Amino acid sequence: MMQLHNLPEAYAKVHLPSKVALAVTQKPDGNYNLITIEWFMRTSIAPPMFAISIGHSRYSHDCLQDVRYFNLVFPSRDQKDLLSLAGSQSGRDIDKFSAGKVAFIPGKLHKLPILKDAAAVFECEVVTQVNSGDHTIFVGEVKYSWSNAEGEVFYYE
Ligand SMILES: Cc1cc2nc3c(=O)[nH]c(=O)nc-3n(C[C@H](O)[C@H](O)[C@H](O)COP(=O)(O)O)c2cc1C
């Protein structure tokens, strides 16, 4: 029977399993940051676009206001520890790439890191953004796409 509940209770019923991603951004000093995100989606076929929703308080938000590129990373099952690190620490306080011993090669668009162990990576340029309560939705046009024959995508259970 359908009943009225508060949002956390109703959302708990439909929340999991879910895909979780990482977004790579560039820090003002030229180094890179990583954030774990669950709120993202594909938004256009031609041109291809992804949107990511980033909280106003996140360091990644500051980075995206400054440098208008991000890499959307679909992690592999081996990258659970990195998802925990990137989702619990701020790039204001630590360098998540060295803390997580992240292996990468430079991308083709703005040289943002392509994580070698990810399942897939999409290099995006921010083309528009929308304020959404306490988050901002950054919409990125995909310029280059990478995928890894060995990596199986991670699901958050
Ligand atoms: C599973 C999971 C999903 C998350 N999804 C989002 C999200 O969609 N948007 C967001 O702004 N923060 C999200 N977070 C929180 C950020 O990852 C977290 O606050 C992070 O430490 C911010 O890093 P930064 O300050 O370096 O940007 C999520 C965290 C976890 C663990």
Write down the domain spans for the chain: 18-150
Q: pTM of this prediction?
A: 0.98
- State pLDDT tens for residues 98-130: 999 999 999 999 999 999 999 999 999 999 999
Our mutation pick for probing the ligand 1 site, out of 18, 27, 38, counting the most ligand atoms within 8 A of Cβ, is 38
- Any atom of ligand 1 within 6 Å of the Cβ of 91: yes
Q: What is the rounded average pLDDT of the residues 16-39? A: 97
17 upstream amide cis, omega within 30 of 0: yes
Sign of CA dihedral 117, 120, 126, 130: negative
Q: What is the rounded average pLDDT of the residues 51-62? A: 98
Is the pLDDT reported for residue 137 higher than 90?
yes
- Any atom of ligand 1 within 6 Å of the Cβ of 60: yes
- State pLDDT tens for residues 77-102: 999 999 999 999 999 999 999 999 99
Q: What tokens appear for 43 in the block?
A: 């938004």
Is the pLDDT reported for residue 157 higher than 90?
no
Q: Average pLDDT of the chain?
A: 97
Residue 21 CA to ligand 1 center (angstroms) comes to: 10
Q: Thinking of the domain 18-150, which architecture would CATH place it in?
A: Roll (2.30)
